[in-house]
Amino acid sequence: MGFERVGGEQAKGFLSHSDMLDISRALEDPDRWAVRITYTRSDNKTTSRIVSPVRFYKANLQALCLGREQMRNFALSRIQSVELVDARDCLMPEPIEKRPSPDSGK
């Protein structure tokens, strides 16, 4: 299932199944994978960002933007391309580790 892009030439395209798999792979193993996205902002400027995805939220990708070291929401309809990149080659503020929740008893 793809997500339709909106506005201008992008209206013809969809976020591909392969793109969604790459994002999902980075979600599952954030210490190993990040994604480089080409993103069209609301002011129609296109940027390239390396992000560590956190979750899909409604029609957005919530992710840690590694360049800004801040959480950002990226509209799926504005993502033009996705490239899986090795997180070890990115400057990460600190490793992202899955830790047990305090109430899990571990």
- What is the reported pLDDT for 19? 94
pLDDT(87) > 70? yes
CB 52 within 8 A of CB 96: yes
Pair of tokens at residue 76: 């799926």
Please give the pLDDT value at position 22: 96
The whole-angstrom separation of Cα 5 and Cα 97 is 33
Mean pLDDT, residues 42-55 taken together: 94
- So what's the pLDDT on residue 49? 94
pTM: 0.72
